[in-house]
Amino acid sequence: MFDSLSDRLGATLDGLRGKGRLSEDDINKAMREIRLALLEADVNFGVVKDFVARVKERAMGSDVLDSLTPGQQVVKIVHEELTELMGQAGTKLSMSNRPPTVILMAGLQGSGKTTAAGKLARLLAKQKRKPAMVAADIYRPAAIQQLQTLGKSLQVPVFERGTADPVETAAWGIEQAKAQGRDVVIVDTAGRLTIDQELMDELVRMKAAVKPHNVLLVLDSMTGQDAVATAQAFADAVDYDGVILTKLDGDARGGAALAVRAVTGKPIKFVSVGEKLDQLEEFHPDRMASRILGMGDVMSLIERAQDEFDEQQAADLEAKIRKAEFNLDDMLEQLRMVRKMAGGGGLTSLLGMVPGIGRQIKNMPKVDERQIDRVEAIILSMTPAERRNPKLLDGSRRRRIAGGSGTNVQTVNQLLSQFRQMQKMMKQMGKSGKVPQFPGLPRR
């Protein structure tokens, strides 16, 4: 969603980086480009005006004009102001000391509210919580069935009472969840096609009845400034605690993500970056600012690795590297781990988090993930003995493996050549003692 904005800002700031000294005219030109880039990204005009004024005031200071690296100083200022614009430090959900914690989902119809409820349930379950969901949207056809389907796929209970009063259903569902020992309850409320008094009145009554610890407004980021107007209308009527931005993987201009906090004062707590249930992330303004400016997102990359690496697997691999016992089974395991880390966003999204690649990712050849499928097919066509000891792979065995994997002997040979290079590198690391420290393992 931020590709165009990232390109415009990146080109402008790259121009400043190359200058030994900056003049007032250089800064004025850069500010005009930044203003245009933000307006084209559909950021609210008032927000853009204030943002550019703050950046310009700081950029005109002696710390920048007299600096030996003025361009870098301006980049730092833009990063800090973008972070401030989106809310500075990320804010987490409020968790009750006396479970269950109740989360009320609000939003317009079509914003992705019910799906967001399922994604949030999955994220909480991954954090060792025991979520449940309550179907309190009795108006949209199949809304209850959709939530039940999501719950079944996640193995999360869903409480519903058909078309009974939604306020009473919400209160009843929370009691059911409490009785089953669930520590978080997500209540999916009804949406409307437009903001109307009936919707707001029902939300006010439901909030008073269930006393939620968190009220989250789900906004479709592809609706641009309409999303900001919706956020303001809900803020005026129902005092919500934070925002979930959906469809951040879309190709719209994305200004909502930059403006919603500035206009409403409400923090963005989560962003949905894809359609799959594992594609909901906690929102970190500083990391988003880094991504927009093409600076990568190392912290998110590390967190993904920590989430996906099994501690015992990492320890076993480290021991094998030290003993120079890295084999094809280990290679396959690492490929699967990388793919798992990439998630629904694919390997390209993972590469985008690497500093220095950021904005260049679009100019690189698209990562063909079918290559990983081919590697997996080749390795799985080998016997366990062959995977442990590739020296067994003579010509006839390679022909058998090529036939079994639907490839050819040349492709099998290429894989074995790559494996030997990888094995050699691992052997050198083992001898030198420079074995990588895997996430979650104690320092040696």
* 337 vs 264 pLDDT, higher one: 264
Q: Quick one: pLDDT at residue 28?
A: 87
Whether 443 shows a pLDDT value over 60: the answer reads no
- How far apart, in whole angstroms, are the C-alpha atoms of residue 13 and residue 10? 5
Instruction: Give me the percent of the chain exceeding a pLDDT of 90.
Output: 27
- H-helix or E-strand spanning residue 80: helix 70-86
- How far apart, in whole angstroms, are the C-alpha atoms of residue 232 and residue 171? 27
Mutual orientation of helices 24-40 and 3-17 as an angle, nearest 10°?
170
Are both 290 and 305 inside the same structural domain?
no
Q: How far apart are the first and last CA of the chain?
A: 42
Are both 49 and 109 inside the same structural domain?
no
Whether 150 shows a pLDDT value over 90: the answer reads yes
- How far apart, in whole angstroms, are the C-alpha atoms of residue 313 and residue 175? 41
End position of a domain, from candidates 86, 120, 150: 86
Q: How confident is the model at residue 435 (pLDDT cuts 50, 70, 90)?
A: very low
Whether 423 shows a pLDDT value over 80: the answer reads no
* 176 vs 329 pLDDT, higher one: 176
Question: Is residue 51 domain-resident?
Answer: yes
Q: What average pLDDT does range 353-382 have in this prediction? A: 67
DSSP 353-402: TSTTTGGGGGGSPPP-THHHHHHHHHHHTS-HHHHH-GGG--HHHHHHHH
* CATH code (residue 207): 3.40.50.300
Whether 95 shows a pLDDT value over 70: the answer reads yes
Are both 273 and 130 inside the same structural domain?
yes
Q: What average pLDDT does range 203-228 have in this prediction? A: 86
Looking at the DSSP bridge assignments, the partners of residue 215 are: 104
Question: Is residue 444 domain-resident?
Answer: no
Question: Is residue 91 domain-resident?
Answer: no
End position of a domain, from candidates 295, 329, 351: 295
Instruction: Give me the percent of the chain exceeding a pLDDT of 70.
Output: 77
- Considering only 137-151, 272-286, 287-301, 405-419, which range has the smallest mean pLDDT? 287-301
Number of H helices, E strands in the chain: 20, 8
What domain count does the chain have?
3
- How far apart, in whole angstroms, are the C-alpha atoms of residue 317 and residue 430? 11
**Structure-token match 């449940």, residue found:** 132
Q: Quick one: pLDDT at residue 197?
A: 82
Q: Which long-range contacts (CB under 8 A, 24 or more apart) does 195-200 make?
A: 195/108, 195/230, 195/233, 195/234, 200/234, 200/237, 200/238
Question: Is residue 207 domain-resident?
Answer: yes
Whether 124 shows a pLDDT value over 80: the answer reads yes
Q: How confident is the model at residue 33 (pLDDT cuts 50, 70, 90)?
A: confident
- How far apart, in whole angstroms, are the C-alpha atoms of residue 404 and residue 389? 19
Whether 415 shows a pLDDT value over 50: the answer reads yes
Q: What average pLDDT does range 144-172 have in this prediction? A: 93
Q: How confident is the model at residue 180 (pLDDT cuts 50, 70, 90)?
A: very high
Helix residue ranges, H only, 283-362:
285-292, 298-308, 311-322, 328-342, 346-351
Structural domain boundaries enclosing 277: 101-295
- How far apart, in whole angstroms, are the C-alpha atoms of residue 32 and residue 18? 18
Token output for 274: 């894809």
Token output for 391: 């020296």
Question: Is residue 219 domain-resident?
Answer: yes
Q: Quick one: pLDDT at residue 436?
A: 47
Whether 127 shows a pLDDT value over 80: the answer reads yes
Are both 52 and 110 inside the same structural domain?
no
Hey, is 160 helix, strand or coil? coil
Are both 313 and 410 inside the same structural domain?
yes
| N residues, the chain | 444
> What are the two backbone dihedrals, phi and then psi, of residue 117, each rounded to the nearest 5 degrees?
-60, -45
- Average pLDDT over the chain, rounded to an integer: 80
> Any idea what DSSP says for residue 126?
H
Are both 191 and 226 inside the same structural domain?
yes
* CATH code (residue 69): 1.20.120.140
DSSP 183-232: SEEEEEE---SS--HHHHHHHHHHHHHH--SEEEEEEEGGGTHHHHHHHH
* CATH code (residue 342): 1.10.260.30
